[in-house]
Amino acid sequence: MPSTSIDNAFVPGPITGAASDPTYAGALSFMRRKFSKRVAGADVIIWGIPFDSAVSNRPGARFGPQAMRRASTIFDNDPQYPFERDLFDKLAVIDYGDFLHDYGYPNRVPRLVEKEAAKLLRTDALLISLGGDHSVTYPLLKAHAARHGPLALVHFDAHQDTWPDDGKRVDHGSFVTRAVREGLIVPDYSIQIGIRTHAPESHGIRIVHGYELEDMTVAEIATAIERRVDGRQAYITFDIDCLDPAFAPGTGTPVAGGPSSAKMLGVLRRLTHLHIVGADIVEVSPPYDHADITAIAGATVAMHYLGLAAERKVRRKP
């Protein structure tokens, strides 16, 4: 069907409701949401953090937010699978654009991310962040914990990210160590899914290893997550390298032996009872991608976050 309008990202109109831009054209906000720095009235804020100066292997995740916005055009105006609804019928979502920083001062980035995230969280909107490398999750957790208290961490990744940290480094491999040390997360209610490497410390966090996933059903994995979180407020961080490189080649530290995108998206779909107060998707590196495979997977993870938020809003409606 021909589109009836274009550039929904910046034309006047409400911040609810589906767009009708053609898939191949139009302003590339995430899922065609309004680009806006005015956050009043938004249920969800999409925010890009194009920072990758903390990687230990392949760079390029600074282009992740841009790539996921572009890939999100594949979600057309039909009800979104598997949620069977127009996600934006009742859910008000804006694309806040990207975090701005001076690349010459990478050590300033964590504090600046935390400060801006804290400002956005004062609206009580759900903040969904598009990374960027995994170091950005640390300041995001600081801002969310300041707002909500210590959180349960639901961490999809091939790596534990629990390497030693002196408190000064900016490193994508130690954000969990710092979050535990500073009391931002509660290890007894936190879980890591898809781990396929060894790190020196687990900090008491439940680990579901990559090969273990192969022997579990989607329902069993989702149940393990919900039982571990046990009703606490949760932050979800999804490192795209949780997926096998066959499904996410465009990432900085790929590890073979991981799950499919279908399996992990199925897990996300079942987390309907999780009280999610914040979420991110990180480590999408377009220079190592092919045919937008990884960007599409990352955008679909973020779409699932929105689907869960839309369902939660409907359930809470008086």
Strand-by-strand arrangement of the 93-98 sheet: 34-35, 93-98, 44-49, 126-131, 275-282, 233-239, 152-156, 191-195, 206-209
Domain annotation covers residue 6: no
Domain annotation covers residue 14: no
**Residues in binding site:** 134, 157, 159, 161, 239, 241
Instruction: State the pLDDT at residue 22.
Output: 85
* Domain encompassing residue 247: 30-316
Instruction: State the pLDDT at residue 140.
Output: 98
Q: In whole angstroms, give the CA distance from residue 90 to residue 88.
A: 5
Confirm if 32 and 113 have CB atoms less than 8 A apart. no
Instruction: State the pLDDT at residue 69.
Output: 98
Please say if the pLDDT value at position 4 is more than 80.
no
pLDDT band at 82, cuts 50/70/90?
A: very high
Instruction: State the pLDDT at residue 265.
Output: 98
Q: In whole angstroms, give the CA distance from residue 228 to residue 248.
A: 27
Domain annotation covers residue 61: yes
Domain annotation covers residue 192: yes
Instruction: State the pLDDT at residue 165.
Output: 87
10 Å Cβ neighbour count for 220?
13
Bridge partners of 208, per DSSP, are: 193
**pLDDT digits 0-9 by tens, 183-227:** 999 999 999 999 999 998 999 999 999 999 999 999 999 999 999
Instruction: State the pLDDT at residue 318.
Output: 53
Domain annotation covers residue 19: no
Domain annotation covers residue 189: yes
Please say if the pLDDT value at position 5 is more than 80.
no
Q: Which amino acid is at 241?
A: D
**Residues in binding site for Mn(2+):** 134, 157, 159, 161, 239, 241
Which of 245, 257, 260, 254 lies closest to 300, judged by CA? 260
pTM, whole model, 2 decimals?
A: 0.95
Domain annotation covers residue 50: yes
- The CA–CA distances, whole Å, from 91 to 168, 235, 309 equal 39, 20, 8
What is the percentage of the chain residues whose pLDDT exceeds 90?
Answer: 82
Q: What is the CATH number of the domain that holds 133?
A: 3.40.800.10
How many structural domains comprise the chain? 1
pLDDT band at 3, cuts 50/70/90?
A: low
Domain annotation covers residue 173: yes
pLDDT band at 316, cuts 50/70/90?
A: confident
Q: In whole angstroms, give the CA distance from residue 193 to residue 210.
A: 7
pLDDT band at 317, cuts 50/70/90?
A: low
Instruction: State the pLDDT at residue 294.
Output: 98
Averaged confidence pLDDT in the chain = 94
